[in-house]
Amino acid sequence: MGHQQDMLNCKACDKKTLHTRTTPNTLLHIFLSIITAGIWSALFANNLN
């Protein structure tokens, strides 16, 4: 899993702060979707939200 970082305004103090979120490993999910005949894609689609 990767990480995405952005400088965004904080809702509490209205200053620029570093916000970090975890991003899914897309290539791994595509590979698993192919191997499992698409069963994994339902889990992957749910993970994107």
For 13-42, write each residue's pLDDT tens digit.
Answer: 989 999 898 877 788 878 887 888 777 677
Under DSSP, the state recorded for 10 is: -
Under DSSP, the state recorded for 16 is: E
Look at residue 13 and tell me if it is in a domain: no
pTM above 0.75, yes or no: no
| Helix 39-48 / helix 26-35 crossing angle, nearest 10 deg | 160
Whether the pLDDT of residue 49 is over 70: the answer is no
Look at residue 4 and tell me if it is in a domain: no
Look at residue 29 and tell me if it is in a domain: yes
CA torsion through residues 39, 45, 48, 49, sign: negative
- Nearest-angstrom CA–CA distance, 21 and 1: 10
Look at residue 3 and tell me if it is in a domain: no
In which domain, by residue range, is 28 found?
24-49
The helix (run of H) or strand (run of E) holding residue 40 is helix 39-48
Between residues 16 and 3, the one the model is more confident about: 16
